[in-house]
Amino acid sequence: MTNYKKVSAENTPRVELHEKLNLTGAEISVNTLTAGEGVPFVHSHKQNEEIYYIISGSGKAVIDNEEVTLTTGDWIRISPKGERQFFASNDESISYICIQVKENSLKNFTATDAIIK
């Protein structure tokens, strides 16, 4: 039994890592929208906040009817109830990582969760 699992992400528009890595505390997905493309639905969550990192490209998120411009290197956190939809710009694709975790569940992190040997 090993204490890790490694996978390679496929070259597809969306890869969900929850099942591939046997995640128990988060869902992580890698997403790409081609130029002019958008996620075809608006959504919110019951309990989970989402953290997005823009890997490359540009586009926008519409959150509670407010447009937020996104570009390479941006991070954005959206609370569960925030209604969101993502779009690539008309002339450039956008690739991003989405990390989904239960809001207010983080109790310890970094050094406070580490066991130093």
Average pLDDT of the residues in 87-100: 97
Residue 68 is assigned to a structural domain of this protein: yes
- At 111 the pLDDT is 83
Residue 44 is assigned to a structural domain of this protein: yes
- Max CA distance (Å), the chain: 52
Residue 6 is assigned to a structural domain of this protein: no
Domain span at residue 75 reads 14-106
- Cα separation, 55 vs 33, in Å, equals 12
Q: Is the pLDDT of residue 112 over 90?
A: no
- Cα separation, 60 vs 67, in Å, equals 7
CATH number of the domain to which 62 belongs: 2.60.120.10
- At 1 the pLDDT is 58
| Span 30-64, pLDDT tens digits | 999 999 999 999 999 999 999 999 999 999 999 99
- At 37 the pLDDT is 97
Residue 111 is assigned to a structural domain of this protein: no
Prediction pTM value: 0.89
Q: What are the distances in angstroms from CA 53 to CA 61, 76, 113, 116?
A: 12, 7, 24, 29
